[in-house]
Amino acid sequence: MIWDEEFESLPREALEALQLYRLKKTAERVYATVPFYKDTFDKAKIHPSQIKSMDDLRRLPFTVKTDLRDNYPFGLFTLPLHEVVRIHASSGTTGKPTVVGYTKRDIDTWSLLMARTLSCAGVRKGDVVQNAYGYGLFTGGLGFHYGAEKLGATVIPISGGNTKRQIMLMEDFGSTVLTCTPSYALTLAEAMDELGVSKERLNLRVGIFGAEPWSQNMRHQVESKLGIDAVDIYGLSEVIGPGVSVECIEAKNGLHIFEDHFIPEIIDPETGENLPYGEEGELVFTTITKEAFPIIRYRTRDITRLYAEPCRCGRTHVRMERVTGRSDDMLIIRGVNLYPSQIESLLMEIDGLEPHYQLIVDREGTLDNLEVRIEVNEKLFSDEIKGLEKLERGVEKEIKDMLGISAKVRLVEPKTIERFEGKAKRVIDNRKI
Ligand code: DLL
């Protein structure tokens, strides 16, 4: 069901007119209230009054992660703190977190977008939503919570972790929808196995998984282990949190971006030039309805492409392809670019391997070495060593043939690779570069 029929299926022309109107308002707002934006607009020699068409968006300066850090904690807010009713933050790899704020109206907007998101994923009033995204400074837990309530579903605010308890409540409360990271969905599936709870004993129908990259093959694994439809949801704190884009349950083919609130662009990460629909590059967002923390041309570092072909669900908003990785996640191994998701995708095609893996990168002298550790299933593990070695060589060959990288593959015992409640950490890069 389309939650916001009018806005989600606007004809392109009307959508662009709305975007332009809202873009101007946002540009005026940030220029008038945030010294950082006044500075960067002035440097780029653009005044909000000069925005006349959607093409003028390209004249606005980019915002990057370090701009948030340089204005820590509240320097990019357009309003004093007493107008801000909520703060969220995401921890980066280094130093201070990225801080974002919401007015009362921002919370309403976000709840509405999350109600749309859930509806797009097939959730209805009457569904029981087990929300296993982390509650707290992370936007996942509360974002889903407000959206599910707005939709009129029943929310179980269980947060991440306490895996056994999750399964008990899932069974006792008859949860029909599971929301968590894809890696935690796997952890739950595995724990069900251990506890002897079969998927048939549960009422689960849909899973809405995101906050980290996962492959199409991982989707098939989760779907079959839990007996559900799994849809991909994307978002980031700087833009709003979850609620930026989501797949529709009808097609499960690309994530609809809520373009009446966020304008997406794809740029060449090297030159900053805009790329046309269909080409892969870095995703950039401008928010056009937020009050406390609007953001202009934010470089997400996420790599994807956009496509505008109509979707059979009836929504007119463009779709983005699933995010394969972040440009700063990209590993360069002996000169070859590699995203962890490429390895994941390949591993998931091979019989006997479990969806738990880790990539370890080391440097010996000037040479990079990539080791791929992956769990095998119980049955294979009890096989002869010879069989395992043969499989290791086979996977190495596959990686070499498909990705052009010489990796050392180590098959490891089931349940020896770390499990995650939130975002998974798949790469251990020991190179000091
Ligand atoms: O992860 C918001 C979120 C919560 C999204 C719950 C979906 C579900 P951050 O912690 O700020 O916000 O992390 C944002 O996570 O730039 C991507 O690199 C990555 N990411 C989020 N969703 C996906 C996805 C939340 N579906 C960063 N596929 C983003 C791949 C994703 N990467």
How would residue 325 be classed by pLDDT, with cut points 50, 70 and 90?
A: confident
CA of 282 to the centre of ligand 1 (A): 14
pLDDT mean over 270-292:
97
Which residue lies with its CA nearest to atom 28 of ligand 1? 213
Lowest mean pLDDT among 33-47, 198-212, 344-358: 344-358
Question: Does the C-beta of 212 come closer than 6 Å to ligand 1?
Answer: yes
CA of 47 to the centre of ligand 1 (A): 32
Q: What pLDDT, on the 0 to 100 scale, is given for residue 364?
A: 85
% of residues, the chain, pLDDT over 90: 87
Element (H, E) at 223: helix 216-226
Question: Does the C-beta of 300 come closer than 6 Å to ligand 1?
Answer: yes
pLDDT in tens, 386-397: 889 999 999 999
How would residue 89 be classed by pLDDT, with cut points 50, 70 and 90?
A: very high
CA of 365 to the centre of ligand 1 (A): 35
CA of 51 to the centre of ligand 1 (A): 30
* Three-state secondary structure call for residue 275: coil
pLDDT mean over 184-209:
96
Q: What pLDDT, on the 0 to 100 scale, is given for residue 161?
A: 93
Question: Does the C-beta of 65 come closer than 6 Å to ligand 1?
Answer: no
Question: Does the C-beta of 102 come closer than 6 Å to ligand 1?
Answer: no
Q: What pLDDT, on the 0 to 100 scale, is given for residue 94?
A: 61
d(CA 308, CA 311): 9
CA of 201 to the centre of ligand 1 (A): 31
Question: Does the C-beta of 140 come closer than 6 Å to ligand 1?
Answer: yes
pLDDT mean over 3-12:
96
d(CA 56, CA 20): 10
d(CA 358, CA 371): 8
Question: Does the C-beta of 323 come closer than 6 Å to ligand 1?
Answer: yes
d(CA 255, CA 277): 14
| Statement: residue 433 has pLDDT above 60 | no
How would residue 99 be classed by pLDDT, with cut points 50, 70 and 90?
A: very high
Choose the residue to mutate in 90, 142, 258, 323 for probing ligand 1, maximizing ligand atoms within 8 Å of C-beta.
323
Choose the residue to mutate in 117, 131, 218, 234 for probing ligand 1, maximizing ligand atoms within 8 Å of C-beta.
234
Nearest atom in ligand 1 to the alpha carbon of residue 232 is 26
Which residue lies with its CA nearest to atom 27 of ligand 1? 236
Residue-range domains of the chain with CATH: 1-328 (3.40.50.12780), 331-429 (3.30.300.30)
Question: Does the C-beta of 211 come closer than 6 Å to ligand 1?
Answer: yes
pLDDT in tens, 220-265: 999 999 999 999 999 999 999 999 999 999 999 999 999 999 999 9
Question: Does the C-beta of 243 come closer than 6 Å to ligand 1?
Answer: no
* Three-state secondary structure call for residue 408: strand
| Statement: residue 369 has pLDDT above 70 | yes
The chain-wide mean pLDDT, for the chain, equals 95
Residue of 374 and 324 predicted with greater confidence: 374
pLDDT in tens, 124-158: 999 999 999 999 999 999 999 999 999 999 999 99
Question: Does the C-beta of 302 come closer than 6 Å to ligand 1?
Answer: yes
**Any residues with CB less than 8 A from the CB of 133 and at least 6 apart, and which?**
140, 141, 143, 144, 159, 160, 179, 180, 181, 211, 242, 422
pLDDT in tens, 328-345: 778 888 878 888 989 999
| Statement: residue 170 has pLDDT above 80 | yes
Nearest atom in ligand 1 to the alpha carbon of residue 138 is 10
Candidates 242, 252, 231, 124; CA nearest to 182 is: 231
Question: Does the C-beta of 133 come closer than 6 Å to ligand 1?
Answer: yes
Which residue lies with its CA nearest to atom 12 of ligand 1? 236
| Statement: residue 202 has pLDDT above 70 | yes
Which residue lies with its CA nearest to atom 9 of ligand 1? 236
Count Cβ atoms within 10 A of the Cβ of residue 353 and give its class: 0-12 exposed, 13-18 middle, 19 or more buried: buried
23 with 50: CB under 8 angstroms? no
d(CA 51, CA 57): 7
Q: What residue spans of 262-374 are helical by DSSP H?
A: 340-347
pLDDT mean over 80-109:
91
Region of residue 140 (left: phi > 0; alpha: psi -120 to 50; beta: else):
alpha
324 with 304: CB under 8 angstroms? yes
Q: What pLDDT, on the 0 to 100 scale, is given for residue 336?
A: 84
Structure tokens that stand for 416 in this block: 């020896």
CA of 233 to the centre of ligand 1 (A): 8
CA of 392 to the centre of ligand 1 (A): 32
